[in-house]
Chains A and B, each alone.
Chain A
């Protein structure tokens, strides 16, 4: 099983915003995030998916092998949250991915990868 434990920081979320081009202020500006009913800035769902993909790549034997990746964004991740990302074999060329925070809550569900074995 491949795994990666990440404690999210504002700096990492800002770095992802810069690299991805997703500058939605809900990821960068606490005041704006609160004004739309969030607890403060939250991580991009796509940042969570990107980290899950990094773990899947390792389990699959390299990023070029990945053929499909699918996730449901089930929970918010805020700075300071620690999320354990795992990839477990689920049959030939398939992986079951999990991302669970420090309270044991899944932040990604229905997360699967398919790869060229």
Chain B
């Protein structure tokens, strides 16, 4: 699966969703978009493409999210529409477990980079 890319997904950063997310992570909704809202606009919109890809054969019941990294060029504002593109950067097996690295690049409406998400998923056999 390494090297597989998925089509870009557009997502609008909506105020109500951001406020709900902020409250859920103990942040002040008045402070704008929490950094880890990237779990929604970057990882969250692209990971389902991987999980739904029959070739990837990811069994959600055996899936563990092992590591996560976000790097931001800047944080999006409420009202922006962003675009995220996911790709599998590595897919290996060791000790009977499968390790899938999945990266997502999110850019703004002008095409400038906002965020890169790097997720490591472990699938137990």
* Residues of A bordering B, CB below 8 Å: 4, 6, 12, 15-16, 18-22, 24, 26, 35-36, 45-47, 49-51, 53-54, 57, 62-64, 66-73, 110
* Residues of B bordering A, CB below 8 Å: 17, 20-21, 23-27, 31-36, 39-40, 43-44, 60-62, 64-72, 75
Check A64 against B32 for contact (C-beta < 8 Å): yes
Residue of B nearest to A12 (CB): B24
| CB < 8 Å neighbour of B34 from A6, A63, A70 | A63
Check A68 against B72 for contact (C-beta < 8 Å): yes
Within 8 Å CB of B23, what residues of A? 15, 19
Query: Which of A4, A35, A68 has the most chain B CB within a 10 Å cutoff?
Result: A68
List 6 contacting pairs A-B, 8 Å CB cutoff, sorted by A: A6-B26, A35-B61, A50-B24, A57-B27, A67-B72, A68-B72
Q: Nearest Cβ distance between residue B101 and chain A, in whole angstroms?
A: 13
Check B40 against A21 for contact (C-beta < 8 Å): yes
Alpha-carbon distance between A16 and B67 when the two chains are bound, in angstroms: 19
Check A54 against B25 for contact (C-beta < 8 Å): yes
Q: Nearest Cβ distance between residue A9 and chain B, in whole angstroms?
A: 11
Check B20 against A18 for contact (C-beta < 8 Å): yes
